[in-house]
Structure 1
């Protein structure tokens, strides 16, 4: 089952990562100063992941593909891993669309 993992980083900021059924991270958040903000970010991913126009497809300076998921206000709420190809990136987007709405939330 897919899950959102909520954790604190080295700077004590709250972050989440969405993991697919195979344990691979498919989306990672920015840092939040409060846990409540992090939880709101998860809800925003659940909602916005169903709208393809909210996925901003990018190519990094090293030629790898990745995407950002944006909220209605245009703020980035999650960033993918780097993919070798655009088809890999599209598979990642499809995985977020499939997994985010019903993923459980666990604290690690």
Structure 2
């Protein structure tokens, strides 16, 4: 099964997203958004800007 983004409301009523791997493990989480539309834009930003993002180790 492929990974998926889940959109949900947190305890404060803000919209958030999490990216889950095919096995159900959470591998990324988004910030809190005031609106669902902003949350969905955040997901689209991750999809657009990170497909080939390099991994940089900071010490």
If the length of structure 1 is used for normalisation, what is the TM-score?
Answer: 0.49
Higher RCO structure (Cα 8 Å, ≥6 apart): 1
Residue aligned with 1:52, SS: coil
Runs (5+) with no aligned partner, structure 1: 60-108
Aligned to 1:11: 12
More strand by proportion, 1 or 2? Answer: 1
Structure 1 segments, 4+ long, off by >3 Å, are 55-59
More helix by proportion, 1 or 2? Answer: 1
* Cα RMSD, aligned residues only: 1.8
CA displacement, residues 49-90 of structure 1 (integer Å, 9 cap, x when unaligned): 11324x66557xxxxxxxxxxxxxxxxxxxxxxxxxxxxxxx
Runs (5+) with no aligned partner, structure 2: none
**What is the aligned length?**
58
